[in-house]
Each structure stands twice: as C-alpha cells, then as structure tokens.
Amino acid sequence: MASKRRTYQRIAGLYDLLDVAFEYGRYRPLRRLMFEGLSGKILDAGVGTGRNMAFYPSGANVIGIDLSEAMLARARGRQTRAMGRRGRADIDVELRAASVLDTGFADDEFDAIVATFLFCVLDDADQQPALEELKRICKPGGQIRILEYAWSKSLFRRLIMRAWAPWVKWAYGAAFDRDTEQYVEAAGLEIIESRFVYKDIIKLIVVRPKKA
C-alpha cells in the first residue's frame, strides 16, 4: 500500500495531463454513467484528482477518499474551481485521506459507492478486503459501482495493451488483469450488473450487499 501511495505522490502533478486524451476520448461519458440515478450520501473511493466531480448528482453529499495527499490536493483545486466557475454549490463534497481497506466510516454509512479505476490499482491480495470494507459501509440495498479495465479478447487491442502495460504499471501501479468479479461472492456481495461499457476493455460492475 505504501508503494501505491508513493506512486501517486509522484504522478499527481502530471496525472491529468498524461491522461487527457483518454479522459476526453473515453472516460467522460462513463463517469456520467457511474453517478446516474444516485442520491444521498455517496463515497467516491480512490477519488484521485477528482475527475468524477463534474458528474456528482445535484443535492448529493459526496465524500472522496484517497491514499495520496498529492492527488487529494489536485482534487481540492478542482473542487474550488468547480464551485467558483460553474457554481456547483448544489453539491456538498468532502475530501479526506484514507485507504479503501480501512476507511474508518461507520457500518451502513453510504447510500452508494463509486470506484473508478481503483481496483486495477489494488494488488490481488487487497481486492477482497477492499470489497469487504465497501460492503461494510454500504447500506443494505445500496449499490457499489466499479469501473475497471480488462484485457481485450481482440488480438489487435491486446497487443496494444501489452505494449502499454509496463508503463501503466510503473506510472500508475495499475494492471489490466485484475479480476475483481471473482472476489465479489466471497466478500458478501452480489452482482447486479456486469457489462462492457467501452469496447471489450472497460467494464462496469454493479454489486450490492447480499441479503442476510
């Protein structure tokens, strides 16, 4: 976990710039989808530089957590700009340093939880504990929405992804081969929806706490 923190402390200043083509070419419509129909108290887990912020629903109370203070500092800058320029006084956003493995929130605290490109950063050994922690703090009936990369089955795309993988690992501590879904059941969650939302490489996984 300390190494992930170091990685993001290092990359924070460049993060938005490095990803700008993907952000506008790929991610923006997906971020909108992640928050569609959500309300109440929402957790943005692994909030990063706050790129989901533009899509937080009106009237929501959103808490964003991240391991890296440098990423949170960028998110705070974005929050100030959004509140000022676009007058988003309709959302209540709090940003704090915390790990998704031990958030410190109360049981059943959130109506919904969103994690965009967080689980591709978590090591395999941390996948289930992270899901268990999100389950603990999500209200029964609440949704946990996860957006993740997966290896493409197309030979051409897979070759491109293979070429990118060492950079993605070094720069972001991330990998394309995390299989978050395999830990869902053991974490006490059930899948509501699982589908590709960008070609066969970005997947939306929606889960909820299993009924007792």
Ligand X SMILES: C[S@@+](CC[C@H](N)C(=O)[O-])C[C@H]1O[C@@H](n2cnc3c(N)ncnc32)[C@H](O)[C@@H]1O
Q: Residue 197: left if φ>0, alpha if ψ -120 to 50, beta else—which one?
A: alpha
DSSP state of 210: P
Question: Which structure tokens are listed for 117?
Answer: 């490109």
Cβ proximity to ligand X, 20 vs 160, nearer residue: 20
Among residues 45 and 156, whose Cβ is nearest to ligand X? 45
Contact by Cβ (8 Å): 57, 76: no
Q: HSE-up of 17 (CA within 13 Å, CB side)? A: 4
Considering only residues 103 through 122, tell me which ones interact with ligand X, judged by CB under 6 A: 116-118, 121-122
Of 63-71, 83-91, 150-158, 178-186: span binding ligand X (CB under 6 A)? 63-71
Cβ 155 to ligand X shortest distance, Å: 26
State the DSSP H helix or E strand holding residue 197, giving kind and residue range, or none if neither: strand 189-198
Residue 71 within binding range of ligand X, rule CB under 6 A? yes
Tell me how far, at minimum, the Cβ of 54 lies from ligand X, in Å: 12
The site map against ligand X for 170-199 (x = CB under 6 A) is --x-x-------------------------
